[in-house]
Amino acid sequence: MLYNLIKNILPHFRFEGQYESVSECVSGNVNNTYRLVYLDGAREKHYVLQRVNSYVFREPRQVMRNIALVTDHLRAAMERRGEPTEGRVLQLIPTTTGDVLYEDGQGGFWRAYNFIENATAYDTVDSPALMREVGRGFGAFQRLLSDFPADRLFASIPNFHHTTKRFYAFVHSVDEDAAGRVREVENEIEFLFDRRKMMGSIVRLLDRGELPLRVTHNDTKSNNVMVDNKTGKAVCVIDLDTVMPGSALYDYGDAVRFGASTAAEDEPDTSKIALDMEKTRAFTMGFVEETNGFLTQKEIELLPLGIKVLTCELAMRFLKDYIDGDVYFKVNSPKHNLIRARAQMALLEDVEKKEDALNAMIRDMID
Ligand code: GN1
Ligand code: MG
């Protein structure tokens, strides 16, 4: 039972009221996330409890330090602008000893947040209007952090979007063939080798100083922004584990890859997978509306490259994890990572076909 997993953890946090119930949020691929209901008199209080994946995040305390720095900065920026902060920035619930993490003595690191009320995190984006809002949410996030000193942040996952280093790690996994699965995926390996140069292009542009390093979210799936149920406006960006120095192209590309795909990230029928141009345009409008004025002309022109690189990177990450024997991402079937990798490859092929249209879309928007 779910409750048994968390019952010894709950007393260590300063939750208000009496525990009432728990449900699991299953959409994340890395951490375990639970939604808690407490009763404070007649009032319901909602919290989010997470077990941080310490295989993925080797230094959970440093991750929490980053989150505290970033949320403080966001709150201060909103206050300066006279904007409300309640329900608009993640708010940590301290442990009974005033800490930001509870260590359970069995290797588990736990943290808790206030639940963002009357808002939804969308796993699928059904309309261009919603996609534009998601774009505004992530664009505003980047704008609010544009004056944050990047060197204060710890690399929660070093070289997270460093596709060149990731490629070497991938080749190493292929050589090791730890789970004996390489023979089965030779075509997929070739697919990635063919795109090796393209995959490294953002890293090269950053290295040469042709693209600026910014503080970015780095995991911009639509379900990482809460959208208000009444107003339909993006109110709060969540999942701040990977906020690190990066490129605006990462956040743009990853968001389009996820939200503008016509199918789920693990759709087994690849004939259903394509890039929805209308949703891509809508996201781009929202994102550019919020970042216009500080993104460089070159960054804006190169946004479509972000879609290609991030889609290819994730295809490689899923395939690598399949080859390694499913050690990183949570899986719900033995072939889950392979299905995910193939889905990203199908999406990338469609993005490649639409490259001219994507570039024309950007030109139209900035003219
Ligand atoms: C992971 O945990 P979640 O679902 O927010 C992953 C992202 C991937 C994503 C693919 C820390 O994100 O990088 O893009 O799965 N997060 C980490 O769904 O590796
Ligand atoms: Mg995440």
d(CA 187, CA 181): 12
Q: What are 225's strand-pairing partners?
A: 237
Atom of ligand 1 nearest to the CA of 157: 11
d(CA 319, CA 339): 9
DSSP structure class, residue 149: -
Atom of ligand 1 nearest to the CA of 258: 18
Measured in Å, residue 241 CA sits from the centre of ligand 1 at 10
Considering the domain architecture, whether residues 157 and 16 belong to the same structural domain is answered as no
Could you give the number of structural domains in the chain? 2
Give the closest residue (by CA) to ligand 1 atom 10.
29
Q: What is the full per-residue pLDDT of the chain (367 aa) written as tens digits?
A: 899 999 999 999 999 999 999 999 998 999 999 999 999 999 999 999 999 999 999 999 999 999 999 999 999 999 999 999 999 999 999 999 999 999 999 999 999 999 999 999 999 999 999 999 999 999 999 999 999 998 899 999 999 999 999 999 999 999 999 999 999 999 999 999 999 999 999 999 999 999 999 999 999 999 999 999 999 999 999 999 999 999 999 999 999 999 999 999 999 999 999 999 999 999 999 999 999 889 999 999 999 999 999 999 999 999 999 999 999 999 999 999 999 999 999 999 999 999 999 999 999 998 7
Which pairing describes strands 32-40 and 18-25: parallel, antiparallel, or unpaired?
antiparallel
Considering the domain architecture, whether residues 199 and 348 belong to the same structural domain is answered as yes
Considering the domain architecture, whether residues 318 and 263 belong to the same structural domain is answered as yes
Atom of ligand 1 nearest to the CA of 28: 4
Q: Kindly state whether residue 8 falls inside one of the protein's structural domains.
A: yes
Considering the domain architecture, whether residues 183 and 206 belong to the same structural domain is answered as yes
CATH number, position 39: 3.30.200.20
CATH number, position 359: 3.90.1200.10
Ligand 1 cavity residues, CB under 6 Å: 28-30, 56, 219, 239, 241-242, 265, 314
Considering the domain architecture, whether residues 188 and 331 belong to the same structural domain is answered as yes
pLDDT at 38: 98
Considering the domain architecture, whether residues 96 and 183 belong to the same structural domain is answered as no
Q: Is 114 exposed, middle or buried (0-12, 13-18, 19+ CB in 10 A)?
A: middle
Considering the domain architecture, whether residues 169 and 95 belong to the same structural domain is answered as no
pTM over 0.85: yes
Q: Domain range spanning residue 11?
A: 2-58+91-115
- Out of 30, 166, 314, 331, mutate this one to test ligand 1's pocket (max ligand atoms within 8 Å of CB): namely 30
Measured in Å, residue 357 CA sits from the centre of ligand 2 at 30
Give the closest residue (by CA) to ligand 1 atom 1.
29
Instruction: Note the ligand closest to the C-alpha atom of 63.
Output: 1
If one counts every other C-beta atom within 10 angstroms of the C-beta of residue 278, the result is 11
Which pairing describes strands 244-246 and 214-216: parallel, antiparallel, or unpaired?
antiparallel
Instruction: Note the ligand closest to the C-alpha atom of 250.
Output: 1
| Predicted confidence (pLDDT) per residue in 120-149, tens digit | 999 999 999 999 999 999 999 999 999 999
Backbone angles phi, psi at 51, to 5 degrees: -100, 115
> Are 153 and 215 in contact, with CB atoms under 8 Å apart?
yes
Q: What are 47's strand-pairing partners?
A: 36, 114
d(CA 308, CA 137): 22
**Total length of the chain:** 367
Q: Kindly state whether residue 80 falls inside one of the protein's structural domains.
A: no
